[in-house]
């Protein structure tokens, strides 16, 4: 519509000029070197316009002819780039599809066509990795470290490689270098935290853990549990260094953080006992018992009340039981104290009730002990022990990463080196118990198995929250 209006306006202007010229006639004369040209003014203007148009056409033609070689070069370069990016795209698709041969072919093609080393180097490295050529991949990743725009990707590639190879010392160095470039990358924080914890760098791991939780790499509940575990390991470390005050304050902090965390309560209670604070120790255990009645707490409580006579001990265990009266662990704890005090009737009553609630090896074993102690009935004892042998395995500290069973709790699995992986549960795969010496509470640097967590997955996030502890 607008165009039509413009056209009409233009036509009107031309017509107006033509009319004006018709109304104002005149002639134009050129006298040059003896030649005389004389024409009407209308014709002269027409010739002038035609000459201008011809000039423009000629100028454009000349420019096209002179600029042809340069334009052709530009066209070829753009074609090259287009083909290069096509190769790059196809290479990436091949990597995603796991087609190593095509990926490598396309990587070479893209490298030849494009002058974009950051992009083609990454593809080349991934293609080499896909073909199982770790040496070539490492060279590409290392070359990427020289450019600021690819350094982080190079470090990520090298980190993945060293994790796969089980080289945790190198992996930790690389992860720290990568973190200095991109401090808030969630997967990196999760990996770094796991590596620091597995290396026994408890204080550093605690700082990284906090950042990992803030970045969303580890959920807050798991984070709290991991932190309690780190605090307990710091408590063990302080004790080894003769710092008993720090040992207690770290254990106390772990217990305050998670009152239902059995290892923290048991350790804090033992350390409180060591400085003569028996009442505080009993309170610590009772507080945890309310949330999580557990055999390790029974053992710790037995130490707390060991200075009393057997009858008083039974009374104190009855008091502990009141914090979780309907739990089978409460019944077993009182039954054990009653057996020690030779209160056979009370022991039998509690064991019978425990047997109704949840038959287990421990119940059968205690019943066998009762038959022997009270009635010297070896036959009945053997019958209970036979049942114990056939009963399903009792819960134990079991590694959620490798299923190894540990006789006592520790921050690191003595078998696979995973951090905070021990859960109180019935082992799913029957595995021989590790000897106590092979499952230290902390530091197992000689672990041979690789870290299972890969960048992209926070290793801390893989550890299942613990129900039983
Ligand atoms: Zn393990």
Give residue 423 CA to ligand 1 midpoint distance, Å. 10
Structure tokens, 27: 């002639």
Query: For the chain, what are the domain ranges?
Result: 89-181, 186-356
Give residue 404 CA to ligand 1 midpoint distance, Å. 6
DSSP 315-364: HHHHHHHTTSTT-HHHHHHHHHHHHHTT-HHHHHHHHHHHHHH---HHHH
Give residue 77 CA to ligand 1 midpoint distance, Å. 57
Query: What pLDDT does residue 455 have?
Result: 39
Give residue 402 CA to ligand 1 midpoint distance, Å. 4
Give residue 447 CA to ligand 1 midpoint distance, Å. 10
Whether residue 426 is predicted with pLDDT greater than 80 in this model: the reply is yes
Which whole number is the average pLDDT over 169-196?
Answer: 95
CATH code that applies to domain 186-356: 1.25.40.10
> What letter does residue 276 receive in the DSSP assignment?
T
* 90-117 confidence digits (pLDDT tens): 998 998 898 888 988 998 888 888 877 7
Q: Which residue has the higher pLDDT, 38 or 185?
A: 185
Give residue 414 CA to ligand 1 midpoint distance, Å. 7
Residue with tokens 């009945």: 380
Give residue 206 CA to ligand 1 midpoint distance, Å. 21
Give residue 12 CA to ligand 1 midpoint distance, Å. 93
Q: How many Å from the N-terminal Cα to the C-terminal Cα in the chain?
A: 80
Give residue 30 CA to ligand 1 midpoint distance, Å. 107
* 48-90 confidence digits (pLDDT tens): 889 999 999 999 999 988 888 888 888 988 998 899 888 889 9
Could you tell me the pLDDT band of residue 467, with boundaries at 50, 70 and 90? Answer: very low
Give residue 469 CA to ligand 1 midpoint distance, Å. 17
Whether residue 139 is predicted with pLDDT greater than 90 in this model: the reply is yes
Give residue 226 CA to ligand 1 midpoint distance, Å. 16
Q: Which residue has the higher pLDDT, 279 or 35?
A: 279
Give residue 199 CA to ligand 1 midpoint distance, Å. 15
* 284-324 confidence digits (pLDDT tens): 999 999 999 999 999 999 999 999 999 999 999 999 999 99
Give residue 412 CA to ligand 1 midpoint distance, Å. 8
Which whole number is the average pLDDT over 430-449?
Answer: 40
Could you tell me the pLDDT band of residue 460, with boundaries at 50, 70 and 90? Answer: very low
Give residue 417 CA to ligand 1 midpoint distance, Å. 6
Give residue 230 CA to ligand 1 midpoint distance, Å. 17
| Share of residues in the chain with pLDDT > 70 (%) | 91
Question: What is the residue-averaged pLDDT of the chain?
Answer: 87
Give residue 406 CA to ligand 1 midpoint distance, Å. 9
Element spanning 296, H or E: helix 295-304
* 355-402 confidence digits (pLDDT tens): 999 999 999 999 999 999 999 999 999 999 999 999 888 899 999 999
């Amino acid at each position: 519509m607008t165009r039509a209006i413009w056209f009409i306006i233009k036509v009107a202007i031309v017509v107006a000029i033509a009319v004006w010229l018709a109304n104002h006639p005149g002639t134009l004369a050129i006298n040059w070197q003896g030649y005389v040209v004389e024409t009407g003014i209308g014709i002269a203007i027409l010739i002038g316009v035609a000459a201008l148009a011809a000039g423009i056409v000629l100028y454009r033609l000349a420019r096209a002819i002179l600029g042809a070689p340069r334009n052709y070069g530009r066209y070829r370069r753009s074609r090259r780039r287009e083909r290069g990016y096509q190769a790059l795209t196809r290479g990436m698709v091949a990597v995603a599809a796991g087609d190593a041969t095509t990926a490598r072919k396309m990587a070479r093609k893209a490298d030849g066509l494009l002058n974009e080393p950051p992009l083609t180097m990454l593809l080349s490295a991934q293609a080499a990795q896909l073909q199982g050529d770790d040496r070539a991949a490492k060279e590409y990743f290392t070359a990427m470290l020289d450019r600021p725009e690819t350094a982080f990707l190079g470090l990520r590639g090298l980190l993945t490689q060293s994790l796969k190879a089980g080289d945790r010392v190198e992996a930790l160095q690389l992860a720290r270098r990568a973190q200095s470039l991109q401090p808030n990358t969630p997967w990196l924080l999760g990996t770094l935290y796991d590596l620091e914890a597995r290396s026994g760098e408890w204080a550093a791991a605690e700082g990284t853990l906090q950042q990992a939780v803030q970045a969303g790499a580890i959920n807050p509940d798991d984070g709290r549990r991991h932190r309690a575990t780190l605090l307990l390991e710091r408590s063990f470390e302080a004790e080894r260094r003769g710092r008993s005050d720090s040992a207690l304050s770290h254990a106390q902090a772990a217990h305050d953080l998670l009152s239902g965390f059995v290892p923290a309560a048991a350790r804090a209670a033992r350390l409180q006992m060591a400085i003569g604070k028996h009442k505080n120790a009993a309170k610590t255990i009772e507080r945890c018992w309310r949330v999580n009645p557990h055999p390790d707490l029974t053992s710790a409580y037995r130490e707390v009340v060991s200075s009393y006579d057997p009858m008083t001990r039974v009374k104190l265990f009855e008091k502990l039981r009141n914090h979780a009266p309907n739990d089978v662990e409460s019944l077993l704890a009182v039954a054990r104290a009653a057996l020690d005090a030779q209160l056979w009737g009370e022991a039998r009553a509690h064991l019978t009730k425990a047997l109704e609630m949840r038959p287990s090896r421990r119940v059968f074993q205690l019943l066998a002990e009762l038959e022997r102690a009270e009635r010297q009935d070896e036959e009945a004892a053997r019958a209970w022990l036979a049942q114990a042998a056939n009963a399903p395995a009792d819960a134990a500290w079991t590694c959620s990463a490798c299923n190894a069973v540990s006789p006592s709790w520790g921050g690191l699995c003595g078998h696979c080196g995973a951090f905070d992986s021990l859960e109180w549960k019935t082992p799913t795969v029957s595995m021989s118990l590790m000897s106590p010496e092979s499952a230290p509470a902390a530091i197992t640097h000689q672990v041979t198995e690789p870290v299972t967590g890969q960048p992209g997955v926070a290793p801390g996030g893989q550890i299942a929250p613990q129900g039983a502890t």
